[in-house]
């Protein structure tokens, strides 16, 4: 069910109402609260200020309880916690798939509810655990990440950008080995590709958007060790000069994050660097790491 939810999330991004689109090439002509709409605006701190949220289908379950969280602009913040703690909900609220019942989310000093919806989402790249691929070619799946409808980019320019994105995402290697290369059909939901290959195609698409903010929702948790290494290596290359929110499952992958926030009962229980949190005796993060380590050992045995 989680994969289906992630798929619906990505489909919603890709099928935004065209009536809300703003000409990206002339963003500076549009202002909000007196400031020009530019990608630089999106690199400011993200603040979740006293956010409380319940899903409409589960009104009796309080998922986030007066949550207070600051995501430093241009830095990498990892969010972890037990299953069902609300980690993925934070990303969905940032993308405005839902509205909180109380509280406010701001980028800089501007509430995201005041931002044009398509413009907000066009500046946020997402890579879910189960990537959504169209039953088309690898090229088409990657190219969909670029707003050609808005910018009317020449096909030759787009082709070069697609190949650059695939190279950055560590996808060009396996693509070039395929008989039809970028014209290879991926099949329904990408069934002709392995999990790691699908993830790298999805990552290529996100890179092509060149977003100011990147949300990685357990992007490597379902991959084998080799695929995880390739995807993780690609992620480290593209996380530079962006605000990155990692919804973490494998805690070993977030050691290098600038900050780690631990969700506990709908609130941030701890926040700090990996070293700082590991030094907290009987701390939430330290206990999560210990528990996951024991599970990994049991699986290996």
| Residue 152 Rama label (left phi>0; alpha psi -120 to 50; beta) | left
CATH class of the region 2-300: alpha beta
DSSP, collapsed to helix, strand or coil, labels residue 69 as strand
Q: Which residues pair with 268 in a beta bridge?
A: 263
225-239 pLDDT, tens per residue?
A: 777 787 778 788 888
Q: Does residue 185 or residue 294 have the better pLDDT?
A: 185
* Cβ-Cβ contacts under 8 Å for 161 (sequence gap 6 or more): 146, 153, 208
Q: Note the pLDDT of residue 222.
A: 62
Is the pLDDT at 9 greater than 70? The verdict is no
Assess contact for 81 and 285: CB atoms under 8 A.
no
DSSP state letters, 150-216? HH---HHHHHHHHHHHHHHTT-HHHHHHSTTGGG-B--GGGTTS-HHHHHHHHHHHHHHH--SEEEE
Q: Note the pLDDT of residue 145.
A: 72
| Stated pTM of the model | 0.82
Q: Note the pLDDT of residue 140.
A: 93
Is the pLDDT at 110 greater than 90? The verdict is yes
11-39 pLDDT, tens per residue?
A: 444 444 444 444 444 444 578 887 888 88
Q: Note the pLDDT of residue 17.
A: 44
Q: Note the pLDDT of residue 294.
A: 54
Q: Note the pLDDT of residue 149.
A: 45
């Amino acid at each position: 069910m989680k994969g289906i939810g992630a798929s619906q999330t990505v489909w919603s991004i890709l099928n935004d109402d065209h009536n809300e689109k703003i000409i990206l090439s002339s963003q500076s002509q549009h202002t909000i609260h007196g400031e020009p709409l530019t990608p630089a605006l999106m690199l400011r701190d993200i603040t979740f200020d006293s956010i409380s949220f319940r899903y409409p289908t589960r009104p009796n379950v309080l998922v986030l309880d007066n949550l207070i969280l600051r995501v430093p602009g241009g830095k990498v913040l990892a969010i972890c916690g037990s299953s069902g703690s609300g980690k993925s909900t934070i990303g969905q609220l940032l993308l405005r798939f839902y509205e909180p019942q109380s509280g406010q989310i701001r980028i800089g000093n501007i509430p995201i509810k005041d931002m044009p919806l398509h413009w907000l989402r066009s500046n946020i790249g997402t890579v879910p655990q189960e990537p959504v691929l169209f039953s088309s070619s690898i090229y088409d799946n990657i190219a969909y990440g670029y707003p050609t409808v808005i910018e009317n980019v020449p096909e030759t320019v787009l082709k070069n950008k697609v190949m650059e994105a695939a190279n950055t995402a560590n996808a060009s290697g396996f693509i070039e080995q395929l008989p039809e290369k970028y014209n290879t059909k991926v099949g329904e939901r990408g069934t002709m590709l392995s999990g790691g290959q699908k993830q790298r195609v999805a990552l290529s698409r996100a890179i092509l958007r060149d977003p100011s903010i990147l949300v990685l929702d357990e992007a490597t948790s379902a991959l084998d060790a080799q695929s995880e290494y390739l995807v993780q290596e690609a992620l480290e290359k593209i996380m530079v000069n962006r605000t990155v929110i990692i919804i973490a499952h494998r805690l070993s992958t977030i050691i290098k994050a600038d900050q780690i926030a631990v969700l506990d009962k709908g609130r941030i229980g701890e926040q700090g660097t990996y070293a700082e949190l590991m030094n907290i005796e009987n701390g939430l993060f330290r206990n999560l790491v210990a528990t996951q380590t024991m599970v990994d050992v049991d699986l290996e045995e």
